[in-house]
Structure 1
């Protein structure tokens, strides 16, 4: 999990940890949408709003673009993040450009990273392990809109509390009605870990989806099993 400090600078929750970032930008991709809500803020604040950098755009030769909207994911929609042995909620709040060496998704605002891993993260030091799961939800009902979240919150805790109920509702989609393809759900043999610090071992179902990170179809069951070992961060 890399750290993102883009958006409003110098807000009430700025504790100086973003000062070490070398690539901070003063705006996010959906600044105009946030401003249109007319809630007293003109953009997201990485120190307050727990957002995920979940798309990338670029024109470099060989650069792979990923547009979540092609999969029905809408800007500023609620996302679930499994990290630091807990489940927290955030929003899709920014996109990555092609200024880096490689295309990537999964940066997190410093407030989201702090909720996951504590005060040790800063603008130039994130979380190195490959143990973070990001889950996005298609559909307009995943977007809290102007009145469904506390956009003018003064802290990450206040904003997170305002999207908690929507996040809880969305996460129940996983496995609750089988899957989005209409196929019957596979019955994989699963070895469940005894604690959240243990590694889970899953045997592949007979017809597993081609990409294990794709939250659709026959992958739903494995994500559900993973989430069953985590609780939301109150």
Structure 2
């Protein structure tokens, strides 16, 4: 069968578009524990080991990696949605809609609430309500989004509200999980083994040991979510209508 040059150009464009679309868009959402710490490149290394780093596109309005994290792994995608000092309450009301409408993530991973407790002095229900708004808004942009919610890492003083939020997360996840948009819990809490020795001197942010712990808890959940997203609706070249390209 013969192809014209114009047909070949359209075929190439279709293949390129399908390849770009087939990447799983992943939003890593959080506060400074996402933005200025070093677990993101450690997770990337896990994705590379699983053969998935070329299949994922980290998305977000922010990009970068702290110099303290050293040289990033090959191909590391620095895009994220971590914002130091921000609260889940404010993100839910003011920011999440714009972020997810512009990116339409296939996978949403988030750890939020520490600043709601320490700065906003919010109670457990207010934080859970913010989670629900974030979830509902993200599903409005992509009804099939796969969600990983992290239990919060502890503070060195074992804040009771943080511990209560962590206790409430599994029931919240179970209540809101659906077959199209499942919610998985990554347990980064003290109960799962996060210790004060994994915190920086400020008693809030993870040190290298803490980054390793978060990556160990979050990475496998992200890998499973990527594979689920790929199995659901990832397009390929065969799905692109190229019948009009033949001559």
Q: Same fold (TM over 0.5)?
A: no
Larger radius of gyration, structure 1 or 2? Answer: 2
Q: Greater share of helix residues, 1 or 2?
A: 2
Task: Give the TM interval when normalised to the shorter protein.
Answer: under 0.3
The alignment's TM-score, normalised by the length of structure 2, stands at 0.25
The alignment's TM-score, normalised by the length of structure 1, stands at 0.25
